[in-house]
Structure formats: C-alpha cells, structure tokens
Amino acid sequence: MAITKMIEFKSKAYYQVSAALAFGSFIVFCNLYLFQPMLPVLAEHFSVSATKINWLLAAGTFTLAFMLLPWAIASDFIGRRNVMLLSLFLLPVIGLLSLLTSHLAILILSRAVMGMALAGFTAVAVAYMAEAFTAKAFSYAIGAYISANSLGGISGRLFGGIITDYFDWQTAVIFMAALSLIGAMLVAILLPKEGDKALNKAELSSYVRVVVQHLRNRRLFLAMLIGGVNFALFVNLYSVIGFRLIAEPYSLPLSVTSMIFLCYLSGTVSSRLVGLWSQRFSSVFGMFVGTLISLIGMVITTNDSLITMVIGLNVLSFGAFFTHSLAYGWVSQQAETAKSTATALYLVHYYVSGSLGGFYLMYCWQHGGWNAVMIGAGFLYMIIFALCWRLNHYAQAKVAWA
C-alpha cells in the first residue's frame, strides 16, 4: 500500500500509521537507554571508573546526535520509509554483534554504531508524519509519538536493569535484539510506502546555508542551549543516583534501582501542561519556571530517605520535561524557514549535551560524592537561568545574530 492522499484523523490509515511510528519510536528509545541502569554493574564487571563506563551511554547519544542531519538529508534522496526501516532492521544485528567481544572498548564502539543506526528513525519519523497526515491528524499523532518516546526510554531502562539483575547484561541484549526484530517487521508491515511525489533532492550547499542561518538566529540558538543543558542535568542525575543507590548504605539490587526511572512519568504529565501554559504565559518564562522546579527536585534528593529521594526525582522530572517541551516547541515555532532542520539541530544540542554532561557529573561523583554532584549541577542550573534571561531579551527585541 502507498500513500496517495493526506491521511485524515481517525481513519483506518491514521491508526495504522500512528501505531507503526509509535512502536518504532518505542523500540528506538528502548535500545538507546538499555545500558543506562547497567552502568554500576558494568563498571564493576570491567573494573573501570564511573567516568569511563559512562562511555557506554555517551557513545550512542553522541553518534545519534551527529547522524541526525545526515540521515535527514539521505531521506530526501531515498525516501523516509526506507531510512526508517533500514534503521530499525540494523538494531538487532548491531545488538547481537556486540556480544562477540569481551573488550570494553569494542563494546563502546558497538554502542556508537548503534547510535548511528538509531538516528535514522529519529531523524525522519516526524517529517514522514508531517507529509502523510492532515494538520489535525498530525497534531494528535505527534502526541502519541512523543509518548512512545518516553515510554520506550522508561521501558528500556527497566528492562535492562531487571534482566541484568536476574540473568546478566548479555541476556538483556539478546532479548532486546529479539524484540527489535519483531518491532522492525511489524513497522515494515504496517507502514505504507510514500506516494509518487518527487523527492526533495536539494543541493548539499542549501542544507549548509539553512544550518548556518538557524545557528546565527539567537532566539533559536539560545533555546537549543537551554534544551541541551537541561537534558545534560536531567538524564545524568539519574545515572549518578543509580550509582548512589547501588552503593552503601543502600546497597539496592539493580532491579530495584531501575524502578527510579518510573519517576519519568511525572514528566509525561508536565509536558501535557505546556499547551495550557503557552496560552497564558511566556514560553521563555516557562523554561525558567521549569528549571527552577527541576532544581528544587534535585535539592530534595539530597535527603537520605528513599521516599524523599523518589519525591525529589518526580519533581526533577516534572520540571525538566516542562522546560524541554517548551524549548523544543519554541525552536519549531520561531524558525522562519526549514523548521524540520531547526528541530533536528535542537536534538543535536540535546544529545551532545546529554553525553558531555554524563562525564561532567560522573567526574563530580567519582571525586566528591553527592555533595560534589550538587555543586557541579548547581553551576549548570545557573547557566540555564542566564540563558533564559538572554533569550527573553532577544525574544522581545527579535534580533538575529549578525
């Protein structure tokens, strides 16, 4: 089946395509974050520091970030569907090949290759939706897609932690490869081919001009930085807390420690409130408020009580997702041309900062414990507040970077 006309809301094709893209997204983010809860166990397994083992998470997010634009450009030549299916079918292959080595460096390399494959689906899924759906259908389908992102990230982390605790990390990789293969086949069956319209084969130089144009626009660039630093804090504070809970005096098993990622669900709630906020208040002010809430959540986690720590993580997630949703939406709205490229650039900043933030906060943890993490994270929060202040100035003046 091929798409011959725009897909209407609540049509059979709407549910079919929405389900295919949501499930594909779920599989992608399961694979991306599978190793995050395993980091403490793998640090002990390979006898390396927390900073070094962080490469298992950072390698994938680094390469994912840098491959977003190349995959997006490739999709203009070979089609969105072909790129997404190639991306998904590579996942089980790369996952199983990673088990052929006992060397950490090669395992890290395999995670980097995994990130390159994951970027294919991530880069073009939303563009496929925008071209296939009517405006109304797209506005509803994108919500399901983003929810699948979140649920995939949570499920991958829970899956990795629980399977590793009861079996081993290799078993977790095998099970995830099997799930990925099933998911890829389902998406291939459900996702229709694109229509016969000509592909947008623009010159490479035009893509470069658009990227430079977006980066020169301070209203876009500052929002990208806010989203990046926010993610650097959010995802890596969870990684550090995983090390904290595995260590004494808690000494919790990995399966229990992995449950902290359920606190992400409070972020799903806050992202739903962004629309209501934007109708009444400034998006930039909302980024400030979300960051302040996130900071309060981090402070709450300093308490040694597990219940209080869980409360703090929920508050942290609520604020971080609120800031992310507003910054992501701001970039899409403020981009005057090539909005898909602008949002791809946002994600580049998002994932690169997330990777770098892991080494920064893991270094703080390794050399000063949770108190050092608090100080290091506090510095990043101050950077976000400063960026929000500057963005507010340029938002009012609407000045582009000359």
User: What amino acid is encoded at 219 in this protein?
Assistant: R
- Residue 70 has φ and ψ, to the nearest 5°, of -60, -40
Position 314 scores a pLDDT of 96
Same-domain check for residues 131 and 275 = no
Q: Residue 12: exposed, middle, or buried by beta-carbon count in 10 A (0-12, 13-18, 19+)?
A: exposed
Q: Last residue of some domain: 183, 201, 219?
A: 201
The reply to whether omega before 192 is within 30° of 0 (cis) is: no
Same-domain check for residues 141 and 267 = no
Look at phi and psi of residue 286 and say left if phi exceeds 0, alpha if psi is from -120 to 50, else beta: alpha
Q: Strand runs (DSSP E) across 30-87, as ranges?
A: none
Position 398 scores a pLDDT of 62
Q: Is 253 helix (H, G, I), strand (E, B) or coil?
A: coil
Say how far apart CA 161 and CA 253 lie, in whole Å: 9
| Tens digits of pLDDT across the chain (402 residues) | 566 578 888 888 899 999 999 999 999 999 999 999 999 999 999 999 999 999 999 999 999 999 998 898 888 788 889 999 999 999 999 999 999 988 999 999 999 999 999 999 998 887 788 788 887 787 677 767 877 888 899 999 999 999 999 999 999 999 999 999 999 999 999 999 876 554 555 566 777 888 888 888 999 999 999 999 999 999 999 999 999 999 889 999 999 999 999 998 898 788 778 778 877 888 899 999 999 999 999 999 999 999 999 999 999 999 998 999 889 878 877 877 777 678 788 989 999 999 999 999 999 999 999 999 999 999 999 999 999 999 998 888 764 443
Position 251 scores a pLDDT of 92
Please report whether residue 343 resides in a domain.
yes
Buried b (16+ CB within 10 A) or exposed e, 51-64: bbbbbbbbbbbbbb
Same-domain check for residues 280 and 234 = yes
CB contact at 8 A, 89 and 36: no
Q: Is 2 helix (H, G, I), strand (E, B) or coil?
A: strand
Say how far apart CA 357 and CA 74 lie, in whole Å: 29
Structure tokens at 370: 């949770």
Position 204 scores a pLDDT of 65
Same-domain check for residues 69 and 105 = yes
Q: Strand runs (DSSP E) across 106-160, as ranges?
A: none
User: What amino acid is encoded at 309 in this protein?
Assistant: M
**CATH number for the domain harbouring residue 62:** 1.20.1250.20
Q: Is 301 helix (H, G, I), strand (E, B) or coil?
A: coil
Same-domain check for residues 296 and 177 = no
Say how far apart CA 229 and CA 354 lie, in whole Å: 7
Same-domain check for residues 236 and 328 = yes
List C-alpha distances in Å: 85 to 21, 62, 97, 203, 263: 11, 22, 19, 25, 31
Position 399 scores a pLDDT of 46
Say how far apart CA 276 and CA 272 lie, in whole Å: 8
Same-domain check for residues 188 and 234 = no
The reply to whether omega before 249 is within 30° of 0 (cis) is: yes
Say how far apart CA 287 and CA 285 lie, in whole Å: 5
Same-domain check for residues 100 and 221 = no
Say how far apart CA 367 and CA 358 lie, in whole Å: 14
Provide the domain count of the chain.
Answer: 2
Q: Last residue of some domain: 182, 201, 220?
A: 201
What end-to-end distance do the CA atoms of the chain give, in Å? Answer: 48
CB contact at 8 A, 21 and 128: yes
Position 194 scores a pLDDT of 72
Residue ranges making up the domain that contains 380: 203-402
Which is nearest to 357 in space by CA: 235, 227, 231, 232?
Answer: 232
CB contact at 8 A, 373 and 361: yes
Please report whether residue 298 resides in a domain.
yes
Q: Is 194 helix (H, G, I), strand (E, B) or coil?
A: coil
Residue 2's DSSP bridge partners are: 193
Same-domain check for residues 136 and 104 = yes
Position 311 scores a pLDDT of 97
Please report whether residue 2 resides in a domain.
no
User: What amino acid is encoded at 34 in this protein?
Assistant: L
